[in-house]
Amino acid sequence: MAIVVGAAASLAAIGFVESVHYLNGQLLISPYARVLAEGRPLLVAAATLLVPAAGGLVVGLIVHFLIPERRGLAPPDAILAAQTSGPAPGFRSGLASSFAALVSLGSGASVGQYGPLVYLGAMFGSLAGRLRLNLRHQRSIAIACGVAAAISTAFNAPIAGLVFAHEVILRHYSLRAFAPVTVAAATGYIVANVIFDRPALFLVSFDRVEHSYEFLFFAVEGVLCAGLAWAFMRLLRASTGAARHYIAWPWARPAVAGLAVGLVALWIPEVMGIGQETLRFATIEGAFGIGELGLIIIAKLAVTALCVGFGFVGGVFSPALLIGILFGAFYGLVLPYLIPVPHSGLVVYAICGMMALASSVIGAPLTTILIVFELTRSYDLTIAAMVAVVFSNLISYRVVGRSLFDLQLRAWGFDLSLGRDKAILENHRIRDYLSREFTAVDESESVGGVRQRLVDDHRAEAMVLEETGALLGVIRVQGVLNSPAAMPARDAMITSFTTFDEDTSVWDSMDMLRGFLGEAVPLVSHSGRLLGVVPEEAVIRAYLEIVHDLREEENEAA
């Protein structure tokens, strides 16, 4: 299964990337195509202005009419599908979302390709998860296999793909998952690097860090990148809110963002598309000046936030890599003026900035460190990047949380900030442990009759109901032992007591049982009608079963 999913995800990723490059060339988005057409400036200007806007309109229509979720699918959807047993987005939604991402990237929107590639891999894994192979945790492992192969293919970095799948998608390193995910990552690398001989993301030449005091500079750069990551995420949130507030038609929002991209690109063409050429030039001494880098960084931040917030379909990993490497180059150029001591050159600061910012945004410090090592094979460069990444993540984790993906999941009601246990316990409803065995009495029934029914039923409490089935209160036998037999139940019932509803999670139910004294907790509908009861034992059993399943998944051998 790992080999098949890995090969399918790798081929799909290669096809997706090549299709984006083809569209960029045909639509005059790529720098090479624009250079070839420099003899027709009016055509280049028209393409710059109109292609992103037209692409945005097509994307808006695809999302609005073809994707039931009314949004592009992204890595958070893959995480949610791997972490829960609920229904994942359908294959139709995945295909439509991938096509929308292809149009977005092909028409020059400032979004990333790695987010769509991650979900593309997850989609093949989800399909494999439906096969009746009688394998434990089949869907989550298959999704991780697809994601690992996609990342391995995209970066020519199989170890990084393996770690990304465990670090971001699965959130554990059990051997049962580790073995097939490793096979899938290796398969993706073989398909991309051996069969198709894909070029590396970038090539740099770096000997070593010349001076020990520069590691302090790398740490400071990491802290600055954490601040930049915070600003990036704030801009994304503000852009999303502005789109909803000012543009009533969701399908038109990407077109507005595309028009803005075109207007900015007339003066700063580097903001268009993925920006791989700009990323490669950023490591070359003299390719950009300090002022030029500052202008591109600000423009790319703003345009990316606009594109993502207004509904273009794509990821944030690629823009984070580009903004990070530009900021790192900017830092490397400014530093000699601030601290006039010998430095090791521009490359190391550019790479440190790229990985520090990207790791804070996607919450994958180990993955980004391994990407540096696999792409450069340089220990010194990897150690320098490691220092920047560590300090960046230390700050960003406390300021904004683990990653942008986790913030999106939290907005959907799946909070991983306190670990998998809490998030998954919150995703299971206590209504699944509902019991319909309880004693129900009418409010006009006498206390004597209630006591006798409780004795006959071997129970300690009764539920007082209206004729409509609405819950009025609870009578506990110890509270009416000395009450007059003729007293109506309405006068003896307790009206302040713990209740669950249809949406109460297992996590919430455990918290609500603090100080609870009773036999079972009533579970009522939103209209107040009693649906059944949940015994205290059932709540504890639900908690133990779910946690046991999690521990088994995290520690299983192959």
pLDDT tens digits along 471-490: 999 998 888 888 888 898 88
pLDDT at 367 exceeding the cut of 80: yes
Task: Tell me the C-alpha distance between 350 and 220, whole Å.
Answer: 13
Closest alpha carbon to 171 in 543, 550, 548:
550
What pLDDT, on a 0 to 100 scale, did the predictor assign at position 557?
Answer: 61
- Identify the top-confidence range among 54-68, 474-488, 496-510: 54-68
pLDDT at 244 over 60: yes
Question: With bands split at pLDDT 50, 70 and 90, how would you rate the model's confidence at 348?
Answer: very high
Residue 19 has pLDDT above 70, yes or no: yes
E strands of 111-160, at which residues?
A: none
pLDDT digit string, tens, across residues 131-175: 888 887 889 999 999 999 999 999 888 999 999 999 999 988 888
Q: Which of 46-55, 62-71, 252-261, 406-415 has the lowest mean pLDDT?
A: 406-415
Say yes or no: domain 2-195 is CATH 2.40.30.10.
no
CB distance 469 to 502 below 8 Å = no
Per the prediction, the chain carries an average pLDDT of: 91
Is it the case that residue 21 has pLDDT exceeding 90? yes
Phi, psi of 136 (to 5 degrees): -70, 140
What's the token pair of residue 526? Answer: 């939103």
State the Cα torsion 527-530-534-539 to the nearest 10°.
Answer: 10
What number is the average pLDDT over the span 537-546? Answer: 90
* Residue 35: Cβ within 10 Å count: 9
Q: State percent of the chain over pLDDT 70.
A: 99
User: Could you tell me the pTM of the whole model?
Assistant: 0.85
Q: How many CB atoms lie within 10 A of CB 428?
A: 20
Q: Is the pLDDT of residue 351 over 60?
A: yes
Average pLDDT of span 499-508: 92
What are the structure tokens assigned to 406, written together? 């986790």
Architecture of the domain spanning 214-412: Orthogonal Bundle (1.10)
CATH of domain 426-546: 3.10.580.10
pLDDT at residue 558, as a whole number? 56
Task: Tell me what pLDDT residue 467 has.
Answer: 84
Q: Is 278 left (phi over 0), alpha (psi -120 to 50) or beta?
A: alpha
Q: pLDDT class for 9, splitting at 50, 70, 90?
A: very high
Confidence at residue 175, expressed as pLDDT on a 0 to 100 scale: 82
Q: Please spell the DSSP secondary structure of 451-514, one letter per residue.
A: HHHHHHHT-SEEEEE-TT-BEEEEEEGGGSTTS-TTSBHHHH-B-S---EETT-BHHHHHHHTT
**Host H or E run for residue 353:** helix 346-362
Range 506-511 contact pairs with CB under 8 angstroms and sequence separation of 24 or more: 506/425, 506/426, 506/428, 506/429, 506/430, 506/539, 506/542, 506/543, 506/546, 507/422, 507/425, 507/426, 508/426, 508/430, 509/430, 509/534, 509/539, 509/542, 510/425, 510/539, 510/543
pLDDT on residue 415:
80
Mean pLDDT on 178-188: 95
Per-residue pLDDT, 421:
84
Give the residue-averaged pLDDT of 354-367.
Answer: 92
Grade residue 295 by pLDDT with cuts at 50, 70 and 90: very high
Q: What percent of the chain has pLDDT over 90?
A: 61
pLDDT reading at 2 higher than 90: yes
- 283 band by pLDDT with thresholds 50, 70 and 90: confident
520 close to 461: Cβ distance less than 8 angstroms? yes
Q: Span 217-246, mean pLDDT?
A: 94
SS3 assignment, position 74: coil
**Is residue 218 predicted with pLDDT exceeding 80?**
yes
pLDDT at 389 over 70: yes
Every domain of the chain with CATH number 3.10.580.10 lies at 426-546
Residue 256 has pLDDT above 70, yes or no: yes
Q: How high is the pLDDT of residue 200?
A: 74
| CATH 1.10.3080.10 residue spans of the chain | 2-195, 214-412
